[in-house]
Amino acid sequence: MDRLKGNVAFITGGARGQGRAMALKFASEGADVVICDICSDAETVPYPLSTSADLAETRSRVEALGRRCVAEVADVRSQEQLDRVVERGIDELGHIDIVCASAGVHSFLPFWEMPEEMWQEVIDTNLTGVWHTVKAVAPHMIERGEGAAILTSSVMGKETGPDLAHYAAAKHGVIGLMRSFAFELGPHNIRVNAILPSVVHDKMGDNPATREWVFGRSDATTEDYVAATRNWHVLRGRAALPAAAIADAALFFASAESQHITGTELVVDAGHSILPGFNHTPIHDERIAVGPYPNDGVTVG
């Protein structure tokens, strides 16, 4: 398949998970790729991030598909580091046509208990990092008069969840960035769209710390996690989605099939967003007076 023949894609968070799935999908469609990843842990993130071995594995799997790959360690919180990766990518591969901002982290605490550093690490990585990523390639794409940017938000870009105020704020913010970038880059023939995944089965969700947070016990297993994630979805048999499902959506936004589409959100959530809003565990409180209201709540006289 050659849907991206002759293209070069720059992907952050490319060492594993969705970023790796995008690199492999794009390579299998004829693109060369530039990937970067932090390849070390983050201070307030309670699960391990990627390693250099993960980054090297993505590179060798791209090369096994017959495509070229530039792989660099870089932190999306640093504009300087991303600028260097982009410069090297253009030097070695000639140009960049597609940019995917996939790097991201999560952590969890009620917002009133959240230390400043935890808040900042998620905002800096998941929101500011997306700005840095697109900023690093925008001048090059403007000069060439074409390009596609794909920003990974989340269903948390539209809703929220327990202990995720910083994550939800960043992911809502990514949608704001996507619209602003699309507006400013449209006159330069550069398209910008966002993907909103629901639960994806990779190391961000399926790790001991996240499982303990979800289940409230430290012995929850991958099987428990997979079973529980079915409750997120409407489509039959869909537990946490494969990373390749998000890569398929990214391929659509990267390819000519979406050449007239910009400024949009694509929810990849097996129907999560249409689940009815229903409280299974409402809390009864004697102090809160609810009906029956005399006079239908209207004060007479």
Q: Which positions lie near ligand NAD, rule CB under 6 A?
A: 12-13, 15-19, 37-38, 42, 49-50, 75-77, 102-105, 125-126, 129, 152, 154, 197, 199-200, 202-205
In this complex, which beta carbon is closest to ligand NAD, that of residue 223 or of residue 296? Answer: 223
Q: DSSP secondary structure string, 41-58? A: --TT-SS----HHHHHHH
In this complex, which beta carbon is closest to ligand NAD, that of residue 32 or of residue 225? Answer: 225
CB of 229 to ligand NAD, least distance (A): 9
CB of 271 to ligand NAD, least distance (A): 15
Active site residue 167: yes
Cβ(203)–Cβ(47) below 8 Å: yes
In this complex, which beta carbon is closest to ligand NAD, that of residue 231 or of residue 259? Answer: 231
In this complex, which beta carbon is closest to ligand NAD, that of residue 188 or of residue 208? Answer: 208
In this complex, which beta carbon is closest to ligand NAD, that of residue 123 or of residue 142? Answer: 123
Cβ(75)–Cβ(38) below 8 Å: yes
Distances (CA, A) of 170 to 122, 126, 152, 156, 243: 7, 6, 11, 9, 21
State how far the Cα of 99 lies from the Cα of 33, in Å rounded to an integer: 10
State how far the Cα of 207 lies from the Cα of 220, in Å rounded to an integer: 10
Cβ(115)–Cβ(141) below 8 Å: no
Q: Where are the alpha helices (DSSP H) in the chain?
A: 17-28, 52-64, 79-93, 116-123, 129-144, 165-185, 208-215, 222-229, 243-254
CB of 209 to ligand NAD, least distance (A): 12
Cβ(150)–Cβ(193) below 8 Å: yes
CB of 75 to ligand NAD, least distance (A): 4
CB of 266 to ligand NAD, least distance (A): 12
Catalogue the active-site residues.
167
